[in-house]
Amino acid sequence: MDFDWTRGFLLDFSVTDGLSQRAGSTKRRLSQMKGMYADAEAFEREVAGGDPVVYEFYELGTPEDSGDLAFGTSITYPGKVGNEYFMTKGHFHTVLETAEVYYTLSGEGCMLLENPEGDVALHPMIPGNALYVPKRYAHRSVNTGKVPLVSFYVFRADAGHNYATIETRGYRKLVVEGPGGIPVMMDNPKWGH
């Protein structure tokens, strides 16, 4: 099936195999997340123990034109590095004034948000809920559960992705497993270094 970006098309996101045949998958292994986790020793142990896939996303190759919408699915797998949950790298949009919507299909987790001025928010991601990520906010999916966290996303197609800021400075906060197995947010000891 070819995507008709001019006249429209239908795509069944409930069938993972069908989606994988029609959309390109990008997988991120733990080794590609170097510097993202606070506990460097735990990170190296996990990479040496098998370098698991932390997350993947399916994109449709939307034309990056003004007025079009990019959309796809993101899958963040369960796991931890030390007491820090598996997560996506997170990103700002190159066009900073871009919002995004995530709809959680399965699993459980949260979305960590941060704007350039330092405002930080944490929102739950549970099946059936739509999460609005405001413009100017970097966003990162965090899997706090025991099964894959799967979400559908959509944003303006010409927005681009700015990973470099996060790769250089990180987020101000981390999401870790706290007492009693409850996810909590804490200061990132590596922020800005």
pLDDT in tens, 10-47: 666 664 554 445 567 899 999 999 999 999 999 999 99
Residue 22 to residue 80: CA distance in whole angstroms: 31
Is residue 23 in some structural domain?
yes
* Per-residue pLDDT, 93: 95
Nearest alpha carbon to residue 136 among 171, 101, 98: 98
Torsional class of 89: left (φ above 0), alpha (ψ -120 to 50), beta (otherwise): alpha
- Domains of the chain: total: 1
- Please, are residues 72 and 58 in contact by the beta-carbon 8 Å criterion? yes
Among 54-63, 141-150, 157-166, the least confident range: 54-63
Label residue 52 by pLDDT band (50, 70, 90): very high
* Per-residue pLDDT, 65: 85
Is residue 4 in some structural domain?
no
* Per-residue pLDDT, 18: 47
pLDDT in tens, 55-102: 999 887 788 888 889 999 999 999 999 999 999 999 999 999 999 999
* Per-residue pLDDT, 184: 95
- Alpha-carbon Rg for the chain, nearest whole angstrom, is 17
* Per-residue pLDDT, 190: 86
Which DSSP category does 141 fall into? E
* Residue-range definition of the domain harbouring residue 172: 16-187
pTM for this prediction: 0.90
| CATH number assigned to the domain comprising residue 29 | 2.60.120.10
Q: Mean of the per-residue pLDDT values for the chain?
A: 90
Which DSSP category does 86 fall into? P
Please give the share of the chain, as a percent, with pLDDT higher than 90. Answer: 74
Is residue 127 in some structural domain?
yes
Residue 109 to residue 180: CA distance in whole angstroms: 16
* Per-residue pLDDT, 169: 87
Is residue 97 in some structural domain?
yes
Is residue 9 in some structural domain?
no
Is residue 192 in some structural domain?
no
- Please name the residues in contact with 106: beta carbons below 8 A apart, sequence gap of 6 or more: 127, 147, 148, 149, 150
Is residue 2 in some structural domain?
no
Residue 30 to residue 14: CA distance in whole angstroms: 27
Is residue 11 in some structural domain?
no
